[in-house]
Amino acid sequence: MAAVPAVPQINARNRLEMTVFVAAALHAIIILGIGFGINPLAPSDPVQRMEITLVHNRSDETPEDAKYLAQANQEGGGDTEEPSRPTSPASTPAVLPSHGSAAFTQPLAPSAPQQHDRQQVVTTTRTSALQARTQPSEEETPDLPTAGQLISQSFEMASASAEINRVLNMHAQRPRQKYISASTKEYKYAAYEEAWRVKVERIGNLNYPEEARRRNLSGALILDVALKPNGAIHSIEVLKSSGHSLLDDAAQRIVYLAAPFAPFPPKIRAETDILHIIRTWRYGTDYRLSSH
């Protein structure tokens, strides 16, 4: 009769090794089987925004070629070559709390001290406590401003800054004006002014006012004659009267008779839109007109 092979016995050590192996395999499956992915509910497109400019006044007419969106129609003006608009510090978007919300009414809490400053804070607190015991109490520290108050102040500052920039831009956009007189030394302006003076004196003496000659009037006045780039008259202003309206009116009439004057040379045209020539007009006792 054949011998039956002995069945191996499983002892406690074998059970422990098997348990450890199964546990390790399960942990490996759990750890390596879990992956990380992007939340499919997260938005992929950026928030669409519309930029609107806040204007301080309005125009009755709608501009044909609007450069910006605003809450009202407004016609721009000025003399800058590039378009510009008022700016303000509050130009970045911000999420503002609504009225009645906790963020709007709660005071802003001071930031927590850093780790390396804690010892100093504790020492200062102890010192302050000792001083409070030996000294009379002072007025309480005023409450910190709320978020709503800070937002309101920020808008006031932004509005004031925008108004200042609007005024500066308006002045910067005016026509480029140049003022010259008999003491001007810059050659391109001095040469143009000299040619202008010669023509004015020649026309003035050919058209000397007869009434002034009969009444033996004499005197001096100061005129501001503003010219356009093509030599046409932009405006005439009496800066100082001669004391005789007859002589003041005669000087202005002579300028109109002498117009138009020579167009601006290219060098003057490149930097000047309106040229003011300020000269003294003198009607002498010899019945001659001169400009100084």
pLDDT, tens digit (0-9, with 9 covering 90-100), for 89-127: 444 444 555 555 555 555 555 555 455 555 554 445 555
Tell whether 52 is covered by a domain.
no
Contacts of 86 (CB under 8 A, 6+ apart): 53, 56, 162, 163, 165, 166, 169
The yes-or-no verdict on residue 24 having pLDDT over 50 is yes
The pLDDT of residue 145:
75
Tell whether 205 is covered by a domain.
yes
| Domain span including residue 255 | 177-291
Beta strands 177-181; 274-283: pairing state: parallel
The pTM is what?
Answer: 0.44
Tell whether 2 is covered by a domain.
no
The pLDDT of residue 144:
77
**Crossing angle between the packed helical segments 187-206 and 245-258, to the nearest 10 degrees:** 110
Q: Which CA distances in Å does 12 have to 9, 23, 104, 219, 291?
A: 10, 17, 69, 134, 128
Tell whether 160 is covered by a domain.
no
CA distance 172 to 166: 10
Q: Which CA distances in Å does 23 have to 12, 13, 27, 35, 240?
A: 17, 16, 6, 21, 108
Task: Please identify which residue in the block is written with the tokens 């100084």.
Answer: 292
The yes-or-no verdict on residue 165 having pLDDT over 90 is no
Tell whether 118 is covered by a domain.
no
Tell whether 232 is covered by a domain.
yes
CA distance 164 to 56: 11
Tell whether 239 is covered by a domain.
yes
Phi, psi at 227, each rounded to 5°: -115, 150
Task: For residue 219, give the CATH number of its domain.
Answer: 3.30.1150
How many domains does the chain divide into?
Answer: 1
Tell whether 27 is covered by a domain.
no
